[in-house]
Amino acid sequence: MVETLDFLRTCALLHDIGKPECWANRRGWSEHIHYTFKLLKTVFGEEYAMSAMRHHTGLAYSPEYHPHNDVEWIICLADNLSSGADRREEPVHGSPLPSPPINFTHVLSSGRVVSSLDAANLSYAVREVVAALEKVKSRFSFGSREGFLEVFRVISGSSFVRIPADTRSPINDVSLFDHLKLTAAFATCMWLDGGYRGNNLDRYEFALVCGDADKISRFVNTSVRLPDLNARSKVIKKATENAKDAVVNALGPECVLFAGGGGLLALAPICKAAEVAETARLAFEAETQGLVKFTVNFLVSRGSEIQKSFGSVWKEAQRQMRLKKLERVEETFPTLSSDDPICDVCHKRLASNVDYERELVYDLSVRKEQLCDACWGLRSMGKGAIIDELKDRGNWVALIKMDGDNVGKLLGGERLEALNKAATPSRLSVISRLINETCEDTMRQVVEKAGGKCLVAGGDDLMALVPGEKALEVTANISSEFRRAMADGATVSCGVAIFHYKLPIYIGLDAVSSLLKEAKENRGKDSIAFTFISSGGLTERKGRRQPRKWSELSEILKLASFMLEGNVAATQLHKIAEVYVKSPLESEVLVKRLMGKSEQNKGLSWGDGLKLLDNLDSGILLDAFMVYNAFKG
């Protein structure tokens, strides 16, 4: 046997590939190893198949199928470590003899089913993986790094991401893919750190490598130019990918637990932890040209600690990261004389480029904007976000800024604790992926479907420009999509500034940031604050309305839609709104008086009047009128 790292981790990644087929045939748990052997033998041969199947030592398994060599013992230990760390709760539902349909539940729920697979689906999922492996095996030699990367790509893109690693509730919220990936990660780390050293997990140590970008919001919002906002978000995304690639190149993709939105979490052998952390830091900061620093740290824990209480290990890693961030030193810049041209964006570096398309008022005169090399590169990269192309028929555009609520607590495991679930490696990895992918992919699709453009999307943040008349509907969809993706276990807050497209973008940026702050602070989060800023001199402060809960926004949109249908005369709506500003009580009297008149005498129908009265006390009527007045055409 060629006992190499790539042979080892390929077998570790595929050790439970036979589970879905075993379950489809309603066979006992211990028989999954025979299905693994049968499937792998047809693709990779008997050597791979045998080492992958020999990963159990219990009485349910014949001694001939127990580990026989160091590679197999490492896979066995890695599987025990992965299973133990991820399945902390005792199963309360589910037969010891798995029987389809097999349910995969949401990690942030108490049993919400994400997918349910019958026997045919389970068999098809396995056959699909085997067919994909058959197609790629001719492109690499077995036991090579290229071979492992191809196998990893196949497994990560397969239906295994929607099949549980364990069929019993509540531990059926970890996917088979995540279990295989984590097992391969532990096996890789054990091999690189000296190989097999006996069956006591206390003899093995692992490093949890953490990386977190510093002051992303300050970097992204340094400039008020659309190209700059667009480029700076792209840079953070690319820099995070570079940090991830650094870990992949040093260890392998299986060791990356999470990467997105300026954050990184990886599993590493202690002999390489410092090197991997530093390489990831350099890769991130190279992409940002040093404009954004990347704080890295790693925490070393014994295998038994990770297996029994990963949540505590994770909390300690977070605590140490916070302390490490407090140690950071602000970057110093060369002292410039008063005669030196300073960059108009970062205000720190020597300006060496001129943007002839942008002008600034400087010392009571107009001059072209001057940028340093770093800011000039970002501006060139971000060109393409043109506000004129996004205005609606009334010349309104909207700037949306979204932020997840209590995401730090969510990633810290508090939501899991509320569900009586342990914070395990795969669960935290899945939650991190969910948040990032929801913002980067789902939210982007919502915005682009409405004809808008994302300026920032990643982590738990979103900033987008959309046609003004679609802004509130888009934010409502963003909120509902985030809730759905998080199984109602997390919410978002939004600020929305709707303004005339000829106004400077910085007016919208200033407004939307303060609106988001109000939504979070004044209404206890899970809220939206929005305003209209016209070109006729209406200031953002005068046009602001109080923040609303998402359910209230739904009522506002319904009432505004009712108004736009033209059931109530525009003059009546204007009069009611005008009186309401002075006295809500007088506006109620006015509505009732109009209800007493016949429609022929410019009165209100009984039903239309009730709709207006129902929304007077809450102030929703005035908000709805503001929406109606802006978009009535």
* Cα–Cα dist 171/294, whole Å: 35
Rounded to 5 degrees, what are φ and ψ at 120? -65, -40
3 pLDDT band, cuts 50/70/90, is low
- 151-162 pLDDT, tens digit per residue, is 999 999 999 999
CA dist 276 to 256, 321, 410, Å? 11, 16, 27
DSSP H or E run through 302: strand 294-302
Judged by average pLDDT, the poorest of 8-12, 139-143, 250-254 is: 139-143
Which regions of the chain carry the CATH code 3.30.70.270?
A: 386-546
pLDDT in tens, 177-207: 999 999 999 999 999 999 999 999 999 999 9
User: Among candidates 99, 93, 97, 96, which has minimal Cα distance to 118?
Assistant: 99
Question: In Å, how far from its chain's centre is CA 359?
Answer: 37
Average pLDDT of the residues in 421-434: 92
The closest of 319, 434, 426, 410 to 88, measured between CA atoms, is 426
Q: Which candidate, 79, 250, 92, 91, places its Cα nearest to that of 180?
A: 79
Which residue in 566, 533, 534, 529 sits closest to 549, CA to CA? 529
| Structure token digits, residue 280 | 């990831």
In DSSP notation, 525-582 reads SSEEEEEEE-TTS--TTTTB---EEHHHHHHHHHHHHHHHTTSS-HHHHHHHHHHHHH
Query: Where do we find the tokens 């007016």?
Result: 507
For residues 493-504, average pLDDT:
90
Q: CA 71, 73, 78 angle in degrees (round to 5)?
A: 95
**pLDDT value at position 502?**
85
Whether 149 contacts 139, CB under 8 Å? no
**Among residues 618, 617, 591, 619, which one has the least CA distance to residue 606?**
591
pLDDT average, residue stretch 317-334 = 82
Give me the mean pLDDT over the 412-420 stretch: 90
Binned at pLDDT 50, 70 and 90, residue 536 comes out as low
Per residue in 353-395, pLDDT (tens digit) is: 999 888 886 666 788 999 999 899 888 887 765 677 788 888 8
pLDDT higher than 90, residue 631: no
Neighbours of 108 (CB within 10 A): 23
Angle in degrees, CA 524, 528, 530, rounded to 5:
135
Close Cβ partners of 542 (under 8 Å, ≥ 6 residues apart): none
Provide the percentage of residues in the chain whose pLDDT is more than 90. 55
Are 91 and 169 in contact by the 8 Å Cβ rule? The answer is yes
Q: Which residues of 565-574 are buried (b: 16+ CB within 10 A; e: fewer)?
A: eeebeeebbe
The pLDDT value given to residue 613: 81
**Cα 541 to Cα 224: distance, rounded to the nearest angstrom:** 20
Reduce the DSSP state of residue 256 to 3 states and report it.
strand
Number of CB atoms found within 10 A of residue 203's CB:
15
| Angstrom distances, CA of residue 510 to CA of 241, 405, 416, 457, 471 | 30, 21, 36, 19, 17
CA distance to 55, 126, 183, per residue, from 159 (Å): 23, 8, 18
Residue type, 481: E
Distance, in Å, from the CA atom of 628 to the CA atom of 573, rounded to the nearest integer, reads 10
pTM above 0.75, yes or no: yes
| pLDDT band, very low/low/confident/very high, at 541 (cuts 50, 70, 90) | very low
Residue 573 binned pLDDT confidence (cut-offs 50, 70, 90): confident
Tell me how far CA of residue 68 lies from CA of 31, 52, 71, 306, 373, in angstroms.
Answer: 19, 11, 8, 26, 60
Amino acid at 451: G
**What is residue 258's three-state secondary structure?**
strand
Is residue 324 predicted with pLDDT exceeding 50? yes
Domain 201-326: homologous superfamily in CATH: CRISPR-Cas system, Cmr2 subunit, D1 domain, cysteine cluster (3.30.70.2220)
Could you count the other beta carbons within 10 Å of the beta carbon of residue 477? Answer: 18
Range with the largest mean pLDDT of 242-256, 286-300, 446-460, 526-540: 242-256
| pLDDT tens sequence across 80-125 | 999 999 988 877 665 668 889 999 999 999 999 999 999 999 999 9
Arithmetic mean of pLDDT over the chain: 88
H runs (alpha helix) in 157-272: 176-192, 216-220, 226-250
Enter the DSSP assignment of 168. S
CATH superfamily of 386-546: Reverse transcriptase/Diguanylate cyclase domain (3.30.70.270)
Q: Where in the chain is the domain with CATH 3.30.70.2220?
A: 201-326
Spatial contact of 190 and 77, defined as CB atoms under 8 Å apart:
yes
The tokens for 420 are 């009586």
- pLDDT value of position 2: 40
